[in-house]
Amino acid sequence: MPFGKVIFFNRKSKFGFIKDNEENANYYVSEKQLIDRIEDGDEVEFEVRDAARGKEAIRVRKITKTSL
């Protein structure tokens, strides 16, 4: 599972972007794909899937010190 950082998430618009730590790629994320509530700057783990407009993050989970 990739790890990354939330670079932007707009709760009102229900979408944002995550930057992958290894690939250095940015992935779109929809609120529908969140397991945990996320905010800008949060460290997360996620899966990637192909979508109509490119790759997107799914099953996004916030990383806490206890989950490492």
Provide the residue ranges of all domains of the chain, joining segments of one domain with +. Answer: 3-67
Residue 40: Cβ within 10 Å count: 12
CB 10 within 8 A of CB 30: no
* CA proximity to 29, closest of 63, 54, 64: 54
Fold classification of 3-67 (topology level): OB fold (Dihydrolipoamide Acetyltransferase, E2P) (2.40.50)
Confidence grade of residue 1 (pLDDT, cut at 50, 70, 90): confident
Is residue 67 pLDDT above 60, yes or no?
Answer: no
- Helix boundaries (H) for 1-68: none
Dump pLDDT digits (tens) for 5-59.
Answer: 999 999 999 999 999 999 899 999 999 999 999 999 999 999 999 998 889 999 9
